[in-house]
Amino acid sequence: MASVVHTQQLGRAVTGGQARCMVELRNTGTSAWKGYQVVREDGSSRSSKPFAVPATNAGGEATVVVQVDLPRDHKGASYTATFRLQDDAGNTVQVDGEDTFTVKLLCSVEALRPRRMMARMLHPLNGRAMFDDVQPSSSLNAKIAADELQVSVTPALLQAVASRATQLQHDSCGLSAEDALAKAAQEFGFDDPSQTHDLLQAIA
């Protein structure tokens, strides 16, 4: 038997990313824990492997850090994940009198910048090492509105995409560098998979 003593979210969580939470469990049984693990009960995870529980004597406490993939389409300000504690034989160990226990995570909705707004970050003279919020000329605005803007892949553009990817990875806990680069490339309007691949190769 066990009980949840304390849970604490580690870092900021964003929908579409991965959240981490520290769970402190108390062994309320009469025998020591050895080979115990915590497994995700609902949803899907990038890593299906269980989370190992340190060996814990009866009456002692153990700390486990679990990871949760937050669905990209989740709209709420919080997300609840359900877990199960298992012994070394895979049997369910009750936590606070229940077969499962939950962890509540605070999260924010991922907000991708509109691609046309990202296009406006490009200076009218594409190729300059300056990417800012200066509004483009009326003629360039017309091309943006008509989706006729053609952007050359220049060192300055690659630098801007890489910088945005770094920001995305920092804001979204658990987002890989490759996923962050792909997402940043999409924000800049590179939707075609072959274009995105070439762009990522150039940045790498």
Co-location of 83 and 124 in the same domain: no
> Based on the domain organization, do 64 and 132 belong to the same domain?
no
155 and 92 belong to one structural domain: no
pLDDT of residue 90: 92
Give the domain-ending residue among 106, 138, 163. 106
Instruction: Locate the DSSP E strands across the chain.
Output: 2-10, 18-27, 37-40, 51-52, 61-69, 78-86, 92-93, 101-106
* CA 27 – CA 63 distance, rounded (Å): 11
Query: For 120-173, how does the pLDDT look when each residue is reduced to its tens digit (9 = 90+)?
Result: 444 444 443 334 334 445 565 565 556 555 555 566 667 777 887 888 887 776
> Is 96 or 117 the better-scoring residue by pLDDT?
96
Residue 51's CATH number: 2.60.40.10
pTM for the full predicted model: 0.53
Give every CB contact of residue 67 below 8 A, 6+ residues apart in sequence: 18, 19, 20, 45, 47, 51, 174
What whole-number distance in Å separates Cα of residue 45 and Cα of residue 169? 18
Amino acid of residue 14: V
Claim to verify: residue 101 and residue 179 sit in the same structural domain = no
Query: 12: number of CA atoms within 13 Å, CB side?
Result: 10
Domain count, the chain: 2
Q: What is the pLDDT of residues 46-76, one digit of tens each?
A: 446 799 999 999 999 999 999 888 887 777 7
Q: How far apart are alpha carbons 94 and 179 in whole angstroms?
A: 38
Question: Residue 14: what pLDDT?
Answer: 75
Q: What are phi and psi of 179, to 5 degrees?
A: -65, -40
Position 114 scores a pLDDT of: 42
Please, are residues 18 and 69 in contact by the beta-carbon 8 Å criterion? yes
Residues 128, 85 share a domain: no
Identify whether residues 79 and 13 lie together within a single domain. Answer: yes
d(Cα 5, Cα 25) in Å, to the nearest integer?
Answer: 6
| pLDDT given for residue 165 in this prediction | 82
